[in-house]
Chain A
Amino acid sequence: KQEVTQIPAALSVPEGENLVLNCSFTDSAIYNLQWFRQDPGKGLTSLLLIQSSQREQTSGRLNASLDKSSGRSTLYIAASQPGDSATYLCAVPNTGGFKTIFGAGTRLFVKA
């Protein structure tokens, strides 16, 4: 059964810091992994999608890496800004591949 763990659960950093959010999953037979952002009371915004054949994806100040064999992904945020404050969710397909399993998220607060 696929399980997703995100560490840390919460993170508070001063503006300008580079930071890393971690995601681990138990079943490495995934075909992709997605990182989402969720603002309080809002829906999900897709940030990055990494296919199983890829090792990383970049979008602006965001870089996500994927190591399938070890069941890990990291989301790197460079030069953090107060506008980055949100909850970041990692999601992978379940064992069998049809459903999506979410981690509990990392709540990020970037102080001005």
Chain B
Amino acid sequence: GAVVSQHPSWVICKSGTSVKIECRSLDFQATTMFWYRQFPKQSLMLMATSNEGSKATYEQGVEKDKFLINHASLTLSTLTVTSAHPEDSSFYICSAKNQGLAGADTQYFGPGTRLTVL
């Protein structure tokens, strides 16, 4: 089946630094990827939709200058948390829609990245 990977799986950083998280579709091409965040014991909240070759679409309340998204290829999207603060500590999960195979409406999820900002 389709596989989505994320790197790193966890990261600890100091307040004020920037952190980049990668999301890759390993065996399929994805023109659209999604970035979610999940606070402890809460569900996933969509942050933004990442479109290959164009600007990301952000959900209401998500600062686009703080959460930079780049979808430079059909298999890679990156989320950069700029000037991270403790309140940005969360579990970040990406997903990708499989465009090429039957069942193209299915989203495949990455394993997540746990960000802790000290």
* Residues 54-82 of A contacting B (Cβ, < 8 Å): none
Q: Is the CB of B43 within 8 A of A102?
A: yes
* Binary flags per residue of B40-63, CB closer than 8 Å to A gives 1, else 0: 011110100100000000000000
Query: In the complex, A100 Cα to B107 Cα: how many Å?
Result: 9
Q: Which of B95, B108, B109, B114 interacts with A41 by CB under 8 Å? A: B114
Among A34, A41, A43, A101, which residue has the most Cβ atoms of chain B within 10 A? A43
Q: Which residues of A contact B49 (CB under 8 A)?
A: 98-99
How many of chain A's residues have a CB under 8 angstroms from any CB in B?
22
Q: Does A22 contact B (CB under 8 A)?
A: no
Asked whether, in the complex, the Cβ of A43 is within 8 Å of the Cβ of B105, the reply is: no
Quick check: is B106 within 8 A (CB to CB) of the other chain?
yes
Most buried by A among B43, B108, B111: B43
| Of A49, A89, A100, the contact of B34 (CB 8 Å cutoff) | A100
B-side interface residues, number (CB < 8 Å): 21
Q: Which residues of A contact B93 (CB under 8 A)?
A: 43-44
Report yes or no: A103 in contact with B114, Cβ–Cβ below 8 A. Answer: no
Does A89 lie within 8 Å of B46, measured CB to CB? no
Query: Which of B106, B107, B108 has the most chain A CB within a 10 Å cutoff?
Result: B107
State whether A31 and B44 are in contact (beta carbons under 8 Å apart), knowing that A43-B112, A100-B34 are contacts in the complex: no
Q: Which residues of B contact A49 (CB under 8 A)?
A: 103, 106
In the bound complex, CA of A105 to CA of B41 (Å): 9
The smallest C-beta distance from A31 to any residue of chain B, in angstroms, reads 6
- Find chain A residues with CB under 8 A from B95 CB: 100
> Which residues of chain B in 31-45 are interfacial with respect to chain A, using CB atoms and an 8 Å cutoff?
34, 41-44
- Interface positions of A from 24 to 41, Cβ below 8 Å from B: 31-32, 34, 36, 41
Instruction: Give A32 to B103 CA distance when docked, in angstroms.
Output: 10
- Chain B residue at minimum C-beta to C-beta distance from A93: B105
Interface residues of A (CB under 8 A from B): 31-32, 34, 36, 41-46, 49, 89, 93, 98-105, 107
Q: Which residues of B contact A (CB under 8 A)?
A: 6, 34, 41-44, 46, 49, 91, 93, 95, 103, 105-112, 114
